[in-house]
Amino acid sequence: MKDLEAQEFKYLRDLICEKTGIFFDDEKKHYLIRRLENRMRTLGCETLLDYYRFLKYDASGKELINLFNVVTTNETYFFRNIPQLMAFKEEVLPLIISRKRRVRDYELKIWSAGCSTGEEPYTLAMLLLEVIPDIYQWKIQILGTDINTQVLERAKKGIYDYRSIREMPSQYTLQYFHFKDKKYFIKEKIKDMVSFAALNLVDTEHMKSVRSIDVIFCRNVLIYFNPESCKKVVNAFYDSLNKGGYLFLGHSESLYRITAIFKLVKFKNSLVYMKE
Ligand SMILES: C[S@@+](CC[C@H](N)C(=O)[O-])C[C@H]1O[C@@H](n2cnc3c(N)ncnc32)[C@H](O)[C@@H]1O
């Protein structure tokens, strides 16, 4: 019985990895089962194998969306990892902006890949406002994408509790939020700068639709992926970036052993990958 369950777990985790890039190792078995329990109960699946079969043969693809919503980890907050954000604001952005000004190119595209409930792309919007005084003459696009449709709905609403703003310097809370009934409502000015869309990073075809990006933030996403999926995603990022564009990974994440296509640049505040 035990062996059978272990085998069922392997089928399911391989399917999850194929569809999302996220890898659950043997130690995470019970953690994964806990996350799937509700879905299995709703569908009347008694074993992992029942659920695996349901997923595999569900032609509508709808259960996959439910799966994505339960297997992802969505922890995030405003101003996560301030040294990296300072590298973006004080070093990377000025470089890109002055390069673009020289050739009268006033378009800037920033992508938060794996944006969860939106705190990251909204943080980037606040920083852009500080760095580009003539921002209204620019065509700025900040795109937030995620595989989890539930977090994207929350991102679009832009309503947060204290947990999300806990690390944000208070001047930004005062400037860009309304506070009511213990909730922080992001102001329209910031909301209007960001658009959100569902996108699965391991969907190679869909990834090809994202092009001409100047800076990608993909922080605390690839830590959950297996090395093959990481490589696939990072190669797709390379294709999405403009020449001279930058890729920010989480501060504990690295492309060491994954790929050497990016140049690692050491800024005062942080290490950042660049497409030469
Ligand atoms: C821990 S959060 C990180 C949020 C934010 N980038 C940050 O650093 O605070 C990871 C996010 O990656 C998303 N994610 C996981 N696998 C994904 C995939 N294959 N495609 C797109 N997003 C994915 C999850 O849904 C989750 O919202």
Q: Which of 268, 199, 191, 271 is nearest to 240 (CA)?
A: 199
Q: Whose CA is nearest to atom 2 of ligand 1?
A: 74
Q: Whose CA is nearest to atom 26 of ligand 1?
A: 74
User: pLDDT value at position 1?
Assistant: 42
User: pLDDT value at position 4?
Assistant: 66
Round to whole Å and give the CA distance between 221 and 120: 12
Give yes or no for a contact between 195 and 118, defined as CB atoms under 8 angstroms apart: no
Which amino acid is it at 42? Answer: T
User: pLDDT value at position 10?
Assistant: 95
Ligand 1 neighbourhood includes 164 CB (under 6 angstroms):
no
For residue 151, give the ligand 1 atom closest to its CA. 27
Round to whole Å and give the CA distance between 67 and 16: 8
Give, as one character, the DSSP assignment of residue 22. Answer: B
**Helix-strand-coil split of the chain, %, nearest 5:** 50, 20, 30
Give, as one character, the DSSP assignment of residue 202. Answer: T
Round to whole Å and give the CA distance between 202 and 23: 13
**Both tokens of residue 33?**
């089962």
Give, as one character, the DSSP assignment of residue 136. Answer: G
Question: For each of the chain's 276 residues, which pLDDT tens digit applies?
Answer: 466 688 999 999 999 999 999 999 999 999 999 999 999 999 999 999 999 999 999 999 999 999 999 999 999 999 999 999 999 999 999 999 999 999 999 999 999 999 999 999 999 999 999 999 999 999 999 999 999 999 999 999 999 999 999 999 999 999 999 999 999 999 999 999 999 999 999 999 999 999 999 999 999 999 999 999 999 999 999 999 999 999 999 999 999 999 999 999 999 989 999 999
Round to whole Å and give the CA distance between 115 and 126: 15
Q: Whose CA is nearest to atom 3 of ligand 1?
A: 220
The DSSP secondary structure of 230-264, one letter per residue, reads HHHHHHHHHHHEEEEEEEEEPTT---TTT--SSEE
Give, as one character, the DSSP assignment of residue 111. Answer: E
Tell me the whole-structure pTM to 2 decimals.
0.97
| Domain ranges for the chain | 2-71, 82-274
- Helices 48-57/62-71 angle, 10° precision: 130
Strand 263-266, strand 213-218: pairing: unpaired
Architecture per CATH, domain 82-274, reads as 3-Layer(aba) Sandwich (3.40)
Please tell me the class of the 2-71 domain.
mainly alpha
User: pLDDT value at position 5?
Assistant: 80
Ligand 1 neighbourhood includes 116 CB (under 6 angstroms):
yes
